[in-house]
Amino acid sequence: MRNKNLRHYLMAISIPMLMFSCEKSAQPTDETNNLSLSTDQTIPNLATTEAICYARAWASQNGGTTGGGEVSATVVTNYASLKSAIENTAIKVIQVNGTITVPSSGRISFQDQTGKTLYGSTGAKIVSADQTKAGSGIMYVKRCKNIIIRNLIFEGPGAYDVDGWDNVTLDASTNVWVDHCEFRDGVDGNFDIKAASDFITVSYCKFNYLKAPRAGGPGGSDDHRFSNLIGSGDDVTSDRGHFRITFVRCWWAQGCVARMPRVRFGKVHIVNNYFNSTASKNCIQAGFESNLLIESNVFENVKIPIDLMNNSATAVQEKNSIFTSVTGNKVGNGVTAFTPPYSLTVLNASTVKANVTASNGAGATLSGNTCTSL
């Protein structure tokens, strides 16, 4: 009888303990930055099992964006293993460790996949030194859905107008969340979006150019530090109704000359970003049939914060931004932009610079696949 009672007692205390051990702990909140972060600390040389991260803003629509989900990561440390893991549809979460150099003409094709996460541990970087038309670029993402790319530095060899490739291009892809990445020194551009890609969130990313541009390219521009292009031409009318994209808490930093971003056709929400490139000639560029909501950003020491170009945009609305020591146009075209169908915490513009440039702000500033809430 005493043993039976003991068994009952042990079962009574073990059940709640088991329930507690399986429950995920609440995420701490950084009240200063209005940013929720998980407590996970990724050990750089080990694969970790990651919690599912849920995208916000445009990537939250159309069924949402969760990437590869809650599975153990496949760790890659060299080009061959990275390329193999990206191309393998059975691998759902990839952790990049260290610096991986893409060989000449080694641009990685990330195509026809659904549900995948690619992230870096602390300091992870993917580098290309190829400035040729055919061989440049780091990664080309095409016909993919439900993808997360996080905490990686994509470093190119510097701008050179040879009609080459961007560090990363999204082509015909939907529900993509690019978070806490740094794109620098792309040959043609840093990060472009094309071919009716849709439901994209770009959050806490940094765009810059650290290398001097190379002059004399056959494209005609001696300084092609043009960071982000959305839509490849006014004549590509198949892009109509697509390019629903949010840029939130990003930083267009030193070296960026133009396209921060340049938009055709899309409904693009540009909110709580920081622009401070003294090399700038234009920042946000409102191209053909673009519908832009420009909200609570900070423009500092830049030229033409809002370029209306040839006035062919559908709507360009600016509200609540801060302009300090700028020249050129600062207003929209008088037409009210779209209303976002999602909820998002919009910071007061007075707090944006500190938030974006903080140690856990824009760029590859995380320790791994840490969930970010906006």
pLDDT digits (tens, 9 = 90+) for 296-316: 999 999 999 999 999 999 999
Query: Has residue 8 been placed in a domain?
Result: no
Q: Which domain holds residue 218?
A: 48-373
Contacts of 180 (CB under 8 A, 6+ apart): 150, 151, 203, 204, 205, 362, 363, 364, 365, 366, 372
Q: What is the pLDDT of residue 272?
A: 98
Look at residue 91 and tell me if it is in a domain: yes
From residue 231, alpha-carbon distances to 29, 94, 243, 298, 316 in Å are: 37, 29, 8, 25, 17
The average confidence (pLDDT) of the chain is 89
Residues in contact with 249: Cβ distance below 8 Å, sequence separation at least 6, in sequence order: 203, 204, 272, 273, 347, 352, 355, 356, 361, 362, 374
> What is the share, in percent, of the chain residues with pLDDT greater than 90?
84
Is 43 domain-assigned?
A: no
Question: What is the largest distance, in Å, between two alpha-carbon atoms of the chain?
Answer: 92
How is residue 113 written in tokens? 């996949």
CA gap 137, 83 in Å, rounded:
14
Polymer length of the chain: 374
Is residue 164 assigned to a domain? yes
100-114, 336-350, 360-374: range with lowest mean pLDDT = 360-374
pTM: 0.88
Distance between CA 323 and CA 180 in Å, rounded? Answer: 25
Q: Establish if 3 belongs to a structural domain.
A: no
* pLDDT digits 0-9 by tens, 221-268: 999 999 999 999 999 999 999 999 999 999 999 999 999 999 999 999
- Domain of 270, CATH number, reads 2.160.20.10
In this predicted structure, the answer to whether residue 134 has a pLDDT above a threshold of 80 is yes
Q: Is the dihedral of CA 166, 133, 208, 323 positive or negative?
A: negative
Residue 57 domain flag? yes
Six token digits for residue 313: 């945009």
CA angle at 370 for the pair 267 and 260, rounded to the nearest 5°: 30
**Residue 89 CA, distance from chain mean position:** 22
Q: Does a structural domain hold residue 246? A: yes
Q: Which two tokens stand for residue 258?
A: 């133009």
In a domain, 22, yes or no: no
Q: What is the pLDDT of residue 42?
A: 38
The answer to whether the beta carbons of residues 166 and 186 sit under 8 Å apart is yes
Measured distance CA(344)–CA(374) in Å, rounded = 6
Count of structural domains, the chain: 1
Give the tens place of pLDDT for each residue, 185-201. 999 999 999 999 999 99
Average pLDDT over residues 48-52: 61
C-alpha–C-alpha distance, residues 295 and 248, integer Å = 10
Q: What is the pLDDT of residue 372?
A: 84
Tens digit of each residue's pLDDT (9 = 90 or more) over 161-217: 999 999 999 999 999 999 999 999 999 999 999 999 999 999 999 999 999 999 999
Q: How many angstroms separate the first and last alpha carbons of the chain?
A: 57
Per-residue confidence (pLDDT) for residue 373, from 0 to 100: 79
**How open is the CA angle 156-162-168, to the nearest 5 degrees?**
35
pLDDT of residue 219 exceeding 50:
yes
Asked whether residue 33 carries a pLDDT value surpassing 90, the answer given is no
Rounded-to-integer distance, Cα 43 and Cα 74, Å:
13
> 37-49, pLDDT tens digit by residue?
333 333 445 555 5
Q: Which amino acid is at 71?
A: V
